[in-house]
Structure 1
Amino acid sequence: MAEELGRAVAELYEEHRRAAFPPRLKVDDANGVEMVSLDSRVVGCVGTWLENRGAVDNRRWDTLAECEQLLDRAIPALNEAEAVYYRRLLTMTVLILETPDDTQVR
């Protein structure tokens, strides 16, 4: 993993882990997207990517690709504070998905 990319994702990941989950989204969906599950799926894949020094398997890669689409659908329905929380997830997702294929475990 490129050191700069890894550092950027790690910083976002730690910031995200410290952030409070938006209370309304514990019970409400956004544009039909279940937000608690979306959060945990992305965080799990990002954590694995960091542990594996910039590599994820096909299943996690596909999960992140699906989550990117769900985030794009859900974020417009969120208030500003909620959107900040989920845009951070989207940023991490995009950074990982844009990593050159030769660094991925397929």
Structure 2
Amino acid sequence: MNELERDRLSRLWEEHVRTPFPPNMRRREIEGEDMVHLDASIAGGVSSSLSEPFDEKRRDALLSCLAAVEKVLPLINDECGAIEHYERLCEMAALAVEIGNAGPR
């Protein structure tokens, strides 16, 4: 992964932590996916990828979350910025997996 992609992930992460969680996604499940848990799982993986070496277990967990968020995105109503929120999570997960695939820094 090049520095531009790493910078993009850092900017998306900063935006994510500044943006409130969409209230309509609390206690919500779509296609068997708990939306709060999905958010937290991706956020944890992204945060780890930015701060420490990325291992195979974390990469696999993020790949699973990426598949889940891609599955539910078309089913999210755009209330309270929910689509934007989960699209950002999707992009961050994909970039973090790329960082992990690039190996140690």
Aligned-pair identity in percent equals 30
**2:59 counterpart (53, 58, 61):** 61
Structure 1 length normalisation: TM-score?
Answer: 0.87
- Name the CA distance, whole Å, in 1 between partners of 2:62 and 2:99: 12
Aligned residue number for residue 18 of structure 1: 18
Higher mean C-alpha displacement, 33-42 vs 1-10: 1-10
| Count of equivalent residues | 103
How far, CA to CA, are the matches of 2:36 and 2:9 in structure 1?
21
Query: Offset at 1:97?
Result: 2.2
TM-score, normalised via structure 2 length: 0.87
The answer to whether 1:97 aligns with 2:97 is yes
Unaligned runs of 5+ in 1: none
Give the distance between the partners of 1:77 and 1:104, measured in 2 at CA: 36
- Which residues of 2 match residues 1-106 of structure 1 at below 5 A? 2-52=2-52, 55-80=53-78, 81-99=81-99, 101-104=101-104
User: What is the CA RMSD across the aligned residues, in angstroms?
Assistant: 1.8
State the shift of 1:49 in Å.
Answer: 0.6
Deviations 1:16-73 (A, max 9, x none): 1111111121111122210111111111111111002xx4111110111000110011
- In structure 2, the gaps of 5 or more residues are none
